[in-house]
Amino acid sequence: MSRLSYRLLILIFSGLLAACATGPAPVETGTTNTSKSFSTVVVDAGHGGKDNGAYRKFGGAEKLATLDVAKRLSRRLRESDLKIVMTRSTDVFIPLEQRVAIENAQKNSIFVSIHFNDSRRRGIHGFETYYHSANSFDLAHRIQSKLMTIPHSANRGVHSANFRVLRLAKYPAVLVECGFLSNRLEGGEARDSEYREALADRIAEAIVEQRYGPSVYHASKGAVAQPPGEGPGLAPSSLKHD
Ligand SMILES: [Zn+2]
């Protein structure tokens, strides 16, 4: 080997080493990470109108349960100084593409989709939370953990999924399955307004904690009994200057 080709080889080799040192290209998550800075929450009530979602005698139509929980969740979050955009606030059918358009139109946002689950096996019960991008994992995990504080809840875990509203999201996005309408106990609970309030309360707590940190969220009246004189919780006024 000539001296020149040897030096050339060294050059190529060190070039390769330098390329390796920068590590693999970052994984394309497809989202802007607003999971700690968001000012808007897009609340998505699953199904609606001609699309009932699941329909079981214990729990009734999924579309009605999702809308009620989504409204309660929106109310809780507004109390914590977050801007709320609902993909629907009445019993109407919204195609998935339109839901994606609504979620992506909100800058500096996160997206939370509310659903109830269904199974042929009536014994199956518990909560599941889904995400797609790595930027959404924290939020999904936090929501799942807070739901687990509901008495008798069962943990069916946090999973990644290719649902369109998650896959096409520009910002962190999660989908929460708030229990199985096909299960006698959870289906019955899904009809109960106090239980829906508890679901909304835990999800709101997780979202507020994700944004502002622990101990900021105060459960509202109706969700948890509060000492007299204390109104619905608000984010501390210092946070308004963020
Ligand atoms: Zn659904």
Please name which of 117, 143, 187 lies closest in space to residue 43, comparing C-alpha atoms.
143
Higher pLDDT, 31 or 147: 147
Ligand 1: centre distance to CA 80 (Å): 27
DSSP assigned state of 240? G
Report pTM: 0.80
Ligand 1: centre distance to CA 47 (Å): 6
Residue 234: band (very low, low, confident or very high) from pLDDT cuts 50, 70, 90: very low
Q: Do the beta carbons of residue 127 and residue 156 sit within 8 Å?
A: yes
Higher pLDDT, 76 or 222: 76
Ligand 1: centre distance to CA 197 (Å): 19
What beta strand segments (E) does 26-78 contain? 40-45, 55-56, 60-61
DSSP assigned state of 48? B
User: What's the longest Cα–Cα distance across the chain?
Assistant: 90
Side chain identity, residue 94: I
Ligand 1: centre distance to CA 66 (Å): 8
